[in-house]
């Protein structure tokens, strides 16, 4: 009898132990790991993005980590195309794809398909973002509803990123993003996915975040940002948003002390984790939420959900 084909989706907030669990699942399921973290694609940033260690990569094959330059744009559409090809190739060779990361949009594109909106000119995108900065989210949201009344059904008035996206789509294509969404096709049948979200208590995550940030500085985070600064990339590129880049830049420019820098990074990482949980509550209702303080029990729980 042919083995049932399955794709493991393993998500969770920063510092929840996704990478460790992914390695164990790979051994159990004859699997290989595919990155679903938008910041771990960059080759120049290893420490700040917490990419898998060299020893882990030697144990199990890892894909889509550290291959794109911070000088280039990298979109969810490009990721989806590359990840889908990797998944199909692994399935065809009898391997189990284990897609791991903390970028909710990547997982959503994989399970639901990605809206195929024409590429919007960067000049228009910049103009719209500048307008948003000038008038603020509340006024900008009102402008969006005037331009695209349908947007009120799928965009929250507090979601600035989605508000901007909906505005630029309507402005450039003269078609509501809600209509583009309706025309989206899935790449895979949903039955192939086994969806797991590691859901640890926030108090534990906060402790792990503190330890992670301290370790980053010990192993060279400052030098990594110094190299980043020397490359001098466009300020609007996504790599500038990686947690720690701006904060360490401020330290290098003597705007903040080392202690202040670490504390700000810890705070912003906690805020990012909060956003990850918010995304999960809104978009991952069908996922299996698991956690155990005992790693062996966590693995058993994950295997049971996958089987």
The pair of structure tokens assigned to 168 is: 């630029």
Rounded (5°) CA angle 140-243-233: 80
* pLDDT tens for each residue of the chain, 307 residues long: 346 789 999 999 999 999 999 999 999 999 999 999 999 999 999 999 999 999 999 999 999 999 999 999 888 889 999 999 999 999 999 999 999 999 999 999 999 988 888 888 989 999 999 999 999 999 999 999 999 999 998 898 988 888 999 999 999 999 999 899 888 888 999 999 999 999 999 999 999 999 999 999 999 999 999 999 999 998 888 899 999 999 999 999 999 999 999 999 999 999 999 999 999 998 899 999 999 999 999 999 999 999 8
The domain limits of the chain are 7-114+186-306, 122-182
- The CATH architecture assigned to 7-114+186-306 reads 3-Layer(aba) Sandwich (3.40)
What number does CATH give the domain 122-182? 1.10.20.140
Backbone torsions φ then ψ of 67, nearest 5 degrees: -115, -15
Domains 7-114+186-306 and 122-182 are alike in CATH topology: no
Kindly write down the DSSP assignment for every residue of 114-145, as one continuous string: ---PPPPPHHHHHHHHHHHHHHHHHHHHHHHH
Rounded Cα gap, residues 18 and 12, in angstroms: 7
Contacts of 236 (CB under 8 A, 6+ apart): 122, 126
Give which of 183, 190, 185 is closest to 169, Cα–Cα: 183
């Amino acid at each position: 009898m042919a083995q049932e084909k399955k794709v493991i989706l393993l998500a969770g907030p920063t510092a929840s132990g996704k990478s460790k669990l992914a390695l164990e699942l790979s051994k159990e399921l004859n699997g290989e790991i595919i990155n679903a973290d938008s910041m771990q694609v960059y080759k120049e940033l290893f420490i700040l993005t917490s990419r898998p260690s060299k020893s882990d990569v030697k144990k199990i094959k890892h894909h889509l980590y550290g291959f794109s330059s911070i000088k280039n744009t990298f979109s969810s559409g490009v990721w989806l195309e590359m990840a889908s090809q990797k998944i199909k190739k692994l399935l065809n060779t009898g391997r189990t794809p284990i897609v791991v990361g903390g970028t909710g949009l990547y997982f959503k594109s994989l399970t639901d398909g990605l809206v195929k909106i024409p590429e919007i000119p960067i000049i228009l995108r910049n103009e719209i973002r500048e307008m948003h900065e000038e008038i603020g989210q509340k006024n900008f949201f009102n402008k969006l509803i005037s331009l695209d009344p349908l947007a009120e059904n799928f965009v929250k008035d507090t979601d600035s990123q989605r508000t901007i996206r909906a505005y630029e789509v309507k402005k450039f294509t003269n078609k509501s993003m809600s209509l583009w969404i309706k025309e989206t096709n899935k790449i895979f049948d949903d039955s192939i996915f086994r969806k797991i979200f590691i859901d640890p208590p926030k108090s534990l995550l906060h402790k792990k975040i503190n330890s992670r940030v301290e370790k980053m500085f010990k192993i060279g985070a400052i030098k990594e940002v110094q190299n980043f600064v020397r490359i001098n990339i466009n300020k609007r590129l996504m790599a500038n948003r990686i947690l720690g880049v701006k904060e360490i830049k401020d330290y290098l420019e003597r705007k903040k002390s080392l202690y202040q820098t670490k504390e700000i990074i810890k705070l912003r990482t906690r805020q990012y984790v909060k956003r990850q949980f918010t995304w999960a509550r809104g978009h991952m209702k069908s996922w299996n939420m698991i956690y155990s303080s005992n790693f062996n029990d966590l693995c058993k729980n994950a295997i049971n959900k996958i089987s």
